[in-house]
Amino acid sequence: MRSNTVAALLGIVAVASPMSTMAEDRPMGFFVTSEGMGNGGDLGGLEGADAHCQKLAAAAGAGGRTWRAYLSTEADGTRGISARDRIGNGPWYNARGILIAANLSDLHLYNTSITLETALDESGNRIKGRGEKPNEHDILTGTQDDGTAYFPDEQDHTCNNWTSSDKGSAQVGHHDRHGGGNVSWTSAHPSRGCSQDALKSTGGAGKFYCFAAD
């Protein structure tokens, strides 16, 4: 009787072990912030945005990784910092262990994995998309479609490098891949402004993508 019980327990451990290993092999490395910072496009610069990612990740039990906001910047006379250069090399999984991208090329050139169902927040909850109230599918990025920063031009694509809540504009992506043909998750259109109300008016809430860079 005892030997049968031991054997049964060992069988349970044997079955459970691969699942545990799988969970360990797929730690969360990507999420959409469950909330913005409440001050429109003023995120406190890249440092403030990164800190927000780190804070939300820690609250979800993933604070042991280095988190970076998927945001680009602009500079005078040269290309600014590119979002794609800030986030490591992957792979990245969402909070439910679903593969978002294996590497940077997969993330930008071939990506079909980021959708309404997979672009989840740090707790594994879905972000509202087009057709829902309120629509929150505008995700701050400040990037071109391939994740690179803009070359200097007459437009502001980053709310003054994520320090403005009044003047300027921000390039946004659509996490749900919907909206008047603007299906890019990185670069769908510019916002109407940098205030919280301006971001809301085009279907956003000041949320952004976070990636584990390690």
CATH number at residue 71: 3.10.100.10
Q: What is the mean pLDDT of residues 102-122?
A: 96
Q: Please report whether residue 77 resides in a domain.
A: yes
pLDDT score, position 22: 45
φ and ψ at residue 152, rounded to 5 degrees: -55, 130
In single-letter form, the type of residue at position 171 comes to Q
pLDDT tens digit sequence for 11-56: 544 444 443 444 568 999 999 999 999 999 999 999 999 999 999 9
Mean pLDDT of the chain: 90
Give the SS3 label for residue 204.
strand
User: 15 lies in a domain?
Assistant: no
Task: Tell me, yes or no, whether 8 lies in a domain.
Answer: no
* Listed ranges 3-7, 15-19, 65-69; the one with the highest mean pLDDT: 65-69
Integer CA distances (angstroms), 174 to 13, 115, 162, 188, in order = 43, 9, 19, 6
The CA distance from 189 to 171, in Å, is 6
pLDDT of residue 25: 84
Q: What are phi and psi of 210, to 5 degrees?
A: -125, 135
Q: What is the DSSP string of 115-166?
A: STTT-BBTTSPBPP-TTSSS---EEE----TTSPPPPS-SS-SBHHHHT-SS
In a domain, 11, yes or no: no
- Which of the pair, 8 or 105, is modelled with greater confidence? 105
Distance CA 143, CA 3 (A): 62
The domain in which residue 102 lies consists of 26-212
Q: Per-residue pLDDT for 206 more than 90? A: yes
Note whether residue 95 is domain-resident: yes
Token pair, residue 193, equals 């402004």
